[in-house]
Amino acid sequence: MRTVELRGEERLSKKDLARTGALPREVMDSAQAIVDDVRERGDVAVREYCQRFDGACPSEFRVPDEVVRGALDMVDPEFLSSLRKAYDQIRDFHEREREQSWFTTKPDGTILGVKVTPVPSVAVYVPGGRAQYPSTVLMDTIPAKVAGVPRVVMVTPPQRDGSLSAYTLAAAAVAGVDEVYAVGGAQAIGAVAYGTESIPAVSKVVGPGNAYVAAAKRYVSGDVGIDMVAGPSEVCVLADATADPAIVAADLMAQAEHDPMAACYLVTDDATLPDRVFPAIEALVSQSPREEITRASLDGKGLCVACDSLDAAIDAVNLIAPEHLELHCADAFSLLGRIQNAGAIFVGPWSSEPLGDYVAGPNHTLPTGGTALFSNPLGVYDFQKRSSVIGYTPEGLLADAPAVQALAQAEGLWAHALSVGMRRKLLAEGGDNFADVTEACADAMQTAWPRKLEEPGRPVLSGYESR
């Protein structure tokens, strides 16, 4: 791990993080070409890309329901009971996020409110490459189901022998996925975003994937909704002198083993801790079945930030804005209010980050790459739409119309003012409809702008020179 030492008033900078940021141009171009081709040629294009990139393509993309349900009998009973425990706890947490429509009535009878409606359909992308992720199926499907999404489909790539992960399919059965399609990569994103002959389009696409999947999601965003453009996984451990170095080492490795590009940060105000953590990492990583991936991550993307004060350490954490943050500190809950930017916060030495990955309840689909500065974990709210509801009475219109007309006049939008002015005129006439439309339309300028606003002054910037 690379080390940055901060002394006195020194603070961590974005340059110290050396984040690469946006997806490479060549990846974006390639993903865009694939999506465009799928949009144009449908199933034929999807089949070609599946053969090229996955080395396998089923005769039918739709996985039969009996195959999905049959996976429940193919997995170890302990795994299945663990899966159901995770399902129950994830669902219980997300039930608390559900938003309800609400309405309020003003004294003049005007009704204002918000109508909450589920998104019509969602596709959950589940990777099938380096590892199997049944937990992702639960995390991305359950909040959609709690939100009331009527159609949730899953896309996941087959292996070269044409098989699918029994773990992934069992999770789909437990979570209540409605349709499963054996297709992955950018071609899967194009298929669910725009639809093909055999894969109906959806309204929103969620779930993690490789750089090409992320690039494809970014490209289709706007035509369909997406959750986020997720980058490699990351963890930040904020640790003081009370932290156990072996536990800290294991927690850093828990993210490093995901991907050679996974980012691991150790931030500490204890000068001796790094020299105790690094040997523990070496002792543990040599025993890991994923040693090569873990070492690549820690060596290439690992960063230790050594501070001489807790204030500097917390500032560093907030700059990093990590996907996962662990607080290995004395009285860790007292620090919670000072943490501004993190996807998920694991408080205290017993709050292992993998608990959040699998069973705790909060979602593990989290903002990465510093986007916790402005983004949220996936939740029920991502699968619900909000429509403002505005219902005026005549009394309410008369109370608010003059303000509308004045503001519309200031913005030069005459017909905006006319729209409410005509209603004022109708109310003055006393009927439900104008007796004479021609007469009603006469003198429309006066109807729209009954009073001309005074010309405003002109604020002038000092020292400004014009050409």
Catalytic residue among 179, 234, 257, 323: 323
Q: What does residue 124 show for φ and ψ, rounded to 5 degrees?
A: -105, 120
Catalytic residue among 94, 324, 328, 364: 324
Residue 192 identity (one-letter amino acid): V
Determine whether 326 is an active site residue.
Answer: no
Determine whether 323 is an active site residue.
Answer: yes
| Rg of the chain, C-alpha, whole Å | 28
Catalytic annotation, residues: 323-324
